[in-house]
C-alpha cells in the first residue's frame, strides 16, 4: 500500500493527490500539520531530510519531490496513463516537471510575501516567528522565509518569482492556444503537475496575472478544476473558512501585487 505524507493546503501535496486520483490508485494518508511544524519532527526528517511534504512511501522505497512522486505514481499502473506516449512529448513533460522546482519556489514566494505573511505577522510575536523559523531543517528555506516575512513584496524573491511565473504563463498560453491541454487532446502529467500552483495563485486573488496577457491559463484552470480528480484532491482537505480568509487577504493585497507586477513587466 502507498502511504503519502502530506499537508491539507500544501500545493505540492495537492498536486500528488490529483495524480493519485487521476490514476485511481488506493493510498493511505498521513496528514502533517505544517503550522505546528510537524514536517520538522525528527521521525519525519528521516523520511524527508528537507522537512517538507509530500513524501511517498511504497514498501521500502521513499520518494520525495512532488514531480518525481507524480512520475512514479504514473508508472505504478498502465491504466489511465498520464505520461504522453510520444517521445518528444515525454521529454517536454520532463522539462515541465523539472521547472516545477522553480515554480513551487515562486508560489511559496507569492504566498509568504502576501497573505500568509499578513496572517503570521498578525497572529505571532517576533519571538514566536523566530522560534518557528529556527525549527526549519533547511537553512536556505529558513533564510527565505525570514526574508519574505521581513520584506514582503519588496523582497528580491518576488521579482525572481515573477520571472518564473511569467515564463510559465507564456508557455502555457502558447501551448493552449490550439489545444485544450498542454500536450494536446489528452489531459497529461504536465497538466497534473501545474494545476495546484495555478490554483493557489487564484486562491491568493492573483488571477489578474493571467487574465489579460495569457487568458487561456484561466480556461485551462476552469477545465482542470472540473475534473473529478480535483474534487478528490481538494474537497476533503480545504477548510472553507480558511480558504475565504486567504481570498479576502489576497483581494486586499492585489493592488500592491499589481504595482510590483506592472513594474516587472515594464522592465522587460
Ligand atoms: N520541491 C518540493 C517542495 C516541497 C515543499 O516545499 N513543500 C512545502 C508545502 S507545499 C512544505 O512542506 N513546506 C513546509 C515548510 O515551509 O516548513 C516538492 O515539490 O516536493
Per residue in 70-113, pLDDT (tens digit) is: 999 999 999 999 999 999 999 999 999 999 999 999 999 999 99
Residue 259: alpha-carbon gap to chain centroid: 23
CB neighbour list of residue 200: distance below 8 Å, 6 or more residues apart: 11, 107, 110, 111
Yes or no: domain 87-266 corresponds to CATH 1.20.1050.10: yes
Identify whether the C-beta of residue 203 lies closer than 8 Å to the C-beta of residue 250.
yes
pLDDT at 226: 98
Q: Hey, which of 8, 9, 50, 53 would you mutate to test ligand 1's pocket, going by the most ligand atoms within 8 Å of its Cβ?
A: 53
CB neighbour list of residue 156: distance below 8 Å, 6 or more residues apart: none
Per residue in 18-35, pLDDT (tens digit) is: 999 999 999 999 999 999
Q: Do 2-75 and 87-266 agree at the fold level?
A: no
For 197, the grid coordinates are 500552483
pLDDT band at 252 (very low <50, low <70, confident <90, very high): very high
Question: In the chain, what are the domain boundaries?
Answer: 2-75, 87-266
Ligand 1, atom 19, lies closest to the CA of 66
DSSP track, 81-116 = --S-SSHHHHHHHHHHHHHHHHHHHHHHHHHHTTHH
Helix (H, G, I), strand (E, B) or coil at 66: helix
pLDDT at 268: 83
Report, as an integer, the average pLDDT of 114-142: 97
Report, as an integer, the average pLDDT of 62-77: 98
* Ligand 1 atom with least separation from CA of 53: 12
pTM across the whole model: 0.97
Name the fold adopted by 2-75.
Answer: Glutaredoxin (3.40.30)
Residue 224: alpha-carbon gap to chain centroid: 15
Q: Is 12 in the pocket of ligand 1 (CB under 6 A)?
A: yes
20, HSE (Cβ side, Cα atoms, 13 Å) = 24
* Ligand 1 atom with least separation from CA of 69: 20
For 194, the grid coordinates are 501545474
- How far apart CA 59 and CA 44 sit, in angstroms, is 16
Q: Is the pLDDT of residue 235 over 90?
A: yes
Closest CA to 143 of 37, 97, 261, 151: 151
CB neighbour list of residue 96: distance below 8 Å, 6 or more residues apart: 182, 189, 190, 193, 194
Give 267 Cα–ligand 1 centroid separation in angstroms: 30
Give 86 Cα–ligand 1 centroid separation in angstroms: 31
Closest CA to 114 of 162, 80, 174: 162
Q: Is 222 in the pocket of ligand 1 (CB under 6 A)?
A: no
Identify whether the C-beta of residue 115 lies closer than 8 Å to the C-beta of residue 203.
no
pLDDT at 93: 98
Identify whether the C-beta of residue 153 lies closer than 8 Å to the C-beta of residue 61.
no
Q: Is 104 in the pocket of ligand 1 (CB under 6 A)?
A: yes
Closest CA to 157 of 111, 201, 126: 111
Give 122 Cα–ligand 1 centroid separation in angstroms: 23
Amino acid at each position: 500500500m502507498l502511504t503519502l505524507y502530506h499537508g491539507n493546503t500544501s500545493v505540492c501535496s495537492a498536486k500528488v493527490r490529483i495524480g493519485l486520483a487521476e490514476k485511481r490508485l488506493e493510498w493511505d494518508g498521513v496528514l502533517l500539520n505544517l503550522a505546528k511544524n510537524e514536517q520538522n519532527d525528527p521521525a519525519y526528517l528521516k523520511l524527508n531530510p528537507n522537512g517538507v511534504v509530500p513524501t511517498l512511501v511504497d514498501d521500502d522505497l521513499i520518494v520525495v519531490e512532488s514531480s518525481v512522486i507524480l512520475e512514479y505514481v504514473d508508472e505504478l499502473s498502465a491504466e489511465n496513463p498520464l505520461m504522453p506516449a510520444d517521445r518528444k512529448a515525454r521529454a517536454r513533460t520532463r522539462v515541465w516537471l523539472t521547472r516545477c522546482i522553480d515554480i513551487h519556489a515562486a508560489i511559496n514566494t507569492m504566498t509568504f510575501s502576501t497573505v500568509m505573511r499578513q496572517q503570521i505577522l498578525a497572529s505571532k510575536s517576533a519571538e514566536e516567528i523566530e522560534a518557528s523559523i529556527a525549527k526549519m531543517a533547511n537553512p536556505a528555506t529558513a533564510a527565505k522565509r525570514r526574508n519574505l516575512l521581513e520584506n514582503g513584496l519588496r523582497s528580491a524573491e518576488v521579482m525572481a518569482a515573477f520571472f518564473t511565473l511569467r515564463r510559465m504563463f507564456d508557455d502555457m498560453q502558447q501551448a493552449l492556444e490550439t489545444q485544450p491541454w498542454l500536450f494536446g487532446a489528452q489531459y497529461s502529467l504536465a497538466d497534473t503537475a501545474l494545476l495546484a500552483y495555478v490554483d493557489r495563485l487564484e486562491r491568493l486573488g492573483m488571477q489578474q496575472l493571467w487574465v489579460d496577457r495569457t487568458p487561456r491559463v484561466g480556461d485551462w484552470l476552469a477545465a482542470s478544476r472540473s475534473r473529478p480528480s480535483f474534487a478528490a484532491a481538494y474537497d476533503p482537505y480545504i477548510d472553507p473558512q480558511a480558504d475565504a480568509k486567504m481570498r479576502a487577504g489576497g483581494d486586499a493585497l492585489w493592488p500592491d501585487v499589481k504595482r510590483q507586477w506592472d513594474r516587472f513587466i515594464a522592465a522587460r
